[in-house]
Amino acid sequence: MKKIWEWLSGNVIKDVGDVIDKLTTTEEEKLEIKKEIQVIVEKAAATAEDQITRRWESDMTSDSWLSKNTRPMALIFLSFMAIAFIWVDSHHEISFTVEQEWIELLKQLLTTVYVAYFGSRGFEKYKSISNK
């Protein structure tokens, strides 16, 4: 999520920095303003992360089976697809090749889902232990 946020806000920070450079005269002013903007961006990223956590907590308290099992199902599906692609790609008798773009996409999705699933599970356990 942090990489996505940096990607989305990266150009904005650069553009704002360019405007600041044009409107301010001293290097100290420029550095101070850029630091303040960075703090604002980091707070916005933290708020976005917090909202994702709250959404996941809300899903877990829901009565819906689907909302509680979406993350595990995505994890199982992507893991199965990775194994299937590896198996199919490694058998030379089958004339099927997995293109590099699909491999990259699958790697990014797997990394995101694994980090989100196991990272959030670890955080939830830590939070429940620290609340006791």
Taking the model in full, what pTM does it have? 0.48
pLDDT (0 to 100) of residue 77 = 93
What is the reported pLDDT for 3?
A: 57
Residue pair 46/74 in contact by the 8 Å Cβ criterion: no
Q: Hey, what amino acid is at 55?
A: R
Task: State the Cα angle at 22 between 28 and 20, rounded to 5°.
Answer: 55
User: Distance (Å, rounded) from C-alpha 70 to C-alpha 85?
Assistant: 22
pLDDT at 132: 67
Average pLDDT by stretches of 10, the chain with 132 residues: 55 69 75 82 80 76 79 90 86 80 89 83 70 69
Question: Dihedral sign, CA of 54, 55, 60, 61?
Answer: positive
